[in-house]
Amino acid sequence: MNTHKVLNSKGKEIFTDVTLHPGEIIMDELEARGIKKTEFAQQLGMKPGHFSDLLYGRRHVGAATALKLEKLLGIAAEFWMRIQVYHDLFVERTKQKEAA
């Protein structure tokens, strides 16, 4: 049972038709902190091309990567995993709606 909801100031549940891939958030963080993508990819232990795929939504954030992001950016691994799962569910729901 889903007990977590986002509510507006009047207590009404908010739904969105927009989703963010974790890579978009990572890219924003790197830009805000002035960190070069290639250097960060090395710190993550990823090849620059694989990291680029992550930034542009062609790769997923798994548990191991989420833990590395937590260590390097100070943002909880659970945050990265929630964003990834929400994105995946959003994409799949959209596909199912379009197929119906």
The predicted model scores a pTM of 0.81
Which domains, ranges and CATH numbers included, belong to the chain? 22-99 (1.10.260.40)
Q: Which amino acid is at 84?
A: Q
- 90 and 20 in contact (C-beta within 8 Å)? no
- 34: alpha, beta or left, given left = phi > 0 and alpha = psi -120 to 50? left
Q: How far apart are CA 30 and CA 78, in angstroms?
A: 19
* DSSP reduced 3-state for 13: strand
Digitized pLDDT (tens) for each residue of the chain, 100 residues in all: 445 566 778 888 766 778 899 999 999 999 999 999 999 999 999 999 999 999 999 999 999 999 999 999 999 999 999 999 999 999 999 999 899 8
